[in-house]
Amino acid sequence: MHLHRLEKAWLTIGIAMLAIFLIVLGTMAFSMGVTPPSAHHHTVDPANVAKTAPFDNPGIKQVSDKHYEAVMVAYAFGYTPQTLEVPAGSTVDFIVTSSDVVHGFAIVGTNVNMMIEPGEVSHISHKFDKPGTYLLLCNEYCGTGHEYMKSTIVVK
């Protein structure tokens, strides 16, 4: 196979640009200490979620003034607890895991959106400024009853 000298030149330029890009990207990642997020990474045994703290007593508790912690468990076609109530202006730290399959965790009208994996503990926070009822939906297909999987957050 014979390549024209211009084809060789363009191939050389393309490969050189790719190599430079990968070297710069790798150097920047290592020099800046970029690593996957692991600040809150922890796991639980999915078969024993109901026996493992804090998931043995899911619900919402007040941590400080206008700051709440909501411990939730996603399971086949539902969340525990079904309803959460917080005052307007509150920040809620969600701590969520799944006991069976992959689920979604999305609060309609907010930027809250997580994937809940069995045994992985997921964390996200959101400040609820406006009063109202917020719908919490599963946005990952989890089986035949997926469309019924929901919960509500009532902000008073």
Structure tokens that stand for 73 in this block:
């468990």
Return the bridge partners of 69, or none: 61, 93
Q: Tell me what pLDDT residue 133 has.
A: 94
Q: Tell me what pLDDT residue 35 has.
A: 63
Nearest to 151 by CA among 56, 79, 53: 79
100 close to 116: Cβ distance less than 8 angstroms: no
pTM for the predicted model, two decimal places: 0.72
Q: Is the dihedral of CA 43, 45, 46, 48 positive or negative?
A: negative
Per this entry, what is the length of the chain?
Answer: 156
91 close to 38: Cβ distance less than 8 angstroms: no
Strand 150-155 vs strand 132-137: parallel, antiparallel, or unpaired? antiparallel
Q: Omega of the bond prior to 81 within 30 degrees of 0, cis?
A: yes
Q: What is the pLDDT along the chain (156 residues), one digit of tens a residue?
A: 788 889 999 999 999 999 999 999 888 877 776 666 655 568 888 888 888 888 888 999 999 998 999 999 998 888 889 999 999 999 999 999 998 899 999 999 898 999 998 988 989 999 999 999 999 999 888 888 888 888 999 999
Q: Tell me what pLDDT residue 43 has.
A: 82
CA atoms of 26 and 29, how far apart (whole Å)? 5
Q: Taking the CB of residue 139, how many other CB atoms lie within 10 A of it?
A: 15
Q: Tell me what pLDDT residue 46 has.
A: 82
66-86, pLDDT tens digit by residue?
Answer: 899 999 999 888 888 999 999
CA atoms of 70 and 58, how far apart (whole Å)? 7
